[in-house]
Amino acid sequence: MKAEKVLPNKVIDGTVTHIAFNRLRNPSPLLGVFTRRVEGENISYHVDVTPIDVSRSEDVLSFSGKTWTLPGNLPIVRAAVGASGRVIASRRYDTSLFRMYTLLECDSDHSCAVANGLVGPPTSEALSDHLLAVELYSPDAASPSVFFVSKDEHDEHIHVSMAMFTLVDGEWVKDELWPRPPLYYHRDSYSPMLGHDVPENDGAHQLHWLTSPIVAASANSTTLAWTFLSRILTLDYVGEASGKIHGYVLEESKPLDGFSPADLRVKGANLNPNGTVFSFVNDNNDIITFSRTAVRLKPKEDRSWVESFFLYPNEIGFFYDAAAEAQGHANAPAKTKPKSSSPWKVQTNYLNSLDGATNGKAVVAFHQLEGSRLATNFMHPDETYILVLYTNNVLQILEVTQRDKGSHIQAYIRNRWPMFVAMLAVVVVFAANEMTGEFTPYTSLLTAGLSFWVLLSLLLNEPSYD
C-alpha cells in the first residue's frame, strides 16, 4: 500500500479578495491568491502565485512560498493569471483599464516588491462598465494581447463592446471584435391594471452573461468560448490567417435550437486543451457539452497529394463536412474572415432531474479530463470525461460520447490504402477481361464503374470518430 504524504501548508497573511486560477496553462497550472492587508493607516495588496505541479511519482504539490507586494493601494476589482504567467488586475479609480505585473524571481524570504507593471490603455478606450479582462496567447512576449469586455446600460438598451488590446511598439492598439448596434431589451407597454405604461422585458433574459461573464479557456488561452444571446461565441487564435496583429478571430454560432435562455444561464464552463470540446453547467445544474472538429489553417509541409486534393474548396464541399470550407484555407484573402473550425454541435446533455443520486443537488465543481490522465482500466485514453462534484458529496464521471464526423474519404484512403489499391486492381482486371469478351467496351466500363462505386459506398458507411 502506498504511504500517504502530508502536503505543505501555506499561511496567508491578510484578507483574501480574489482567487485566480489558470488550469490549462503550460507547463503547469497557476493559482493566484490576492490579499489585502491593513496596518494602521496603510493599505497594501499582495499576491501569492502557486504553480500546481502534480507529480504522480511523488504525489506532492509544489508551492512557490513567495508573496509579492503590488504597487499602490487602489482596491482591486478584477484579477486573473494570464497565459504568460503574468498577473493582470483592474483597480477602482484607476486611469487605466488594467495593469499587468511580471512576478520576477527574488531571494527574499518575505514579501517581494513588484515593479509598477505594464500600464494598460486609458479608461476612455472602453465603455463605462468594465466586465472582463483576459490575457491571451501571444507569440511575442513583448506584445501581449488582452481581451476586454465592457458595456453601457441605458433605460431601453445596452451597448456592448468586445475588444482586443495589443501592445505594439509601446502603444496599445484597439481592435473592436464585435461591432454590433445597441441591444434593445425592453419596451414600454400600457398596463390596464396600473393605468400607465410599464417596462416590459423583451429579451433581457438573454443578457445573463453581462451580469456574470463566464468564459472557458483552452491551453494557454489560444481559444475562449462562452454563451451569449442564445449562441456560442468563440475567440480562436489563427495567426497570420486572421489578418490582425493579435492573430485572433471571433466567431458567433447560429442560435442554439432546442435550448431556452434559461438552459444557457451558465454558472461554470470548461474547454479541453485544444478547444474542441466545450462544456458548461447551468442554473438547473445540467451538464451540457458541445464539440467541433478543428481544421488546419496552414497546410503541412509533408501533406500527401491525396490530402492536398481534398483540401480545395470545391472538393472538400463534396467529400467532407461543408463547414470546413476554403475560409479556413491558408491562402484565403485577408478580407475574408477565416474559420478556425467546424460549427459547434451538441454532444451530450446530462439533465440533473433524471439522475436520482444528484436530483436537486447543486454542482460544486466540474472539470474536463482526458482519459489518458485517469489511472483506470475502463477509461478510453482518447476520450474526454467530465468529473462533477455535487453538494451531497457525490462524484460522477461523465463520458463525452464519440461523435460521427460525417464523410470520411480522407480517413478511408489514408488508413486503408492497401485495400483501396487491391479493389481498384480487381476492377481494372474485370474491366479488361470484359472488354475482350461478349460485352461492348462501354457496357464493360459502366459495369466496372458501378461495381467500384458500390464497394466504395459500402466501405464508407463505417463511421469514424473524433
Mean pLDDT of all residues in 287-304: 66
What does the pLDDT read at residue 466? 41
Q: Kindly state the average pLDDT of the residues 365-391.
A: 76
Q: What does the alpha-carbon distance between residue 185 and residue 175 come to, in Å, rounded to a whole number?
A: 26
Whether cis (ω within 30° of 0) applies to the bond prior to 71 is no
Q: Domain limits of the chain?
A: 415-460
Query: Which grid coordinates are listed for 7?
Result: 502536503
User: Angle at which helices 441-460 and 417-435 pack, to 10 degrees?
Assistant: 160
| Whether pLDDT at 312 is above 90 | no
pLDDT at 363 over 60: yes
Q: Please choose, from the candidates 265, 291, 282, 278, the residue with its C-alpha nearest in 3D space to the C-alpha of residue 346.
A: 291
Nearest to 339 by CA among 238, 456, 197: 238
Residue 212 CB-half CA count within 13 A: 10
Q: What is the pLDDT of residue 1?
A: 41
* pLDDT tens digits, one per residue of 49-107: 777 765 544 444 455 557 888 888 899 998 888 878 888 899 999 999 999 988 777 76
The mean pLDDT value of the chain amounts to 75
250 pLDDT more than 80: yes
Average pLDDT of 405-425?
60
Greatest mean pLDDT range, 53-62, 99-108, 401-410, 436-445: 99-108
**What DSSP designation does 393 have?**
S
Which residues are CB-neighbours of 261 under 8 A, at least 6 positions away? 205, 206, 208, 230
**Own/partner long-range contacts of 312-319 (Cβ < 8 Å, ≥24 apart):** 319/407, 319/409, 319/410
The C-alpha atoms of residue 86 and residue 118 are separated, in whole angstroms, by 10
Matching residue, cell 513588484 = 114
Supply the pTM of this predicted model: 0.71
Residues 6 or more apart whose CB falls under 8 angstroms from that of 433 comprise: none
pLDDT in tens, 256-265: 888 888 889 9
State pLDDT tens for residues 188-243: 555 566 565 545 554 666 788 988 899 999 888 899 999 998 899 999 999 988 88
Rounded CA separation 227/233 (Å): 6
Q: Return left, alpha or beta for 72; rule: phi > 0 is left, psi -120 to 50 is alpha, else beta.
A: left
Contacts of 3 (CB under 8 A, 6+ apart): none
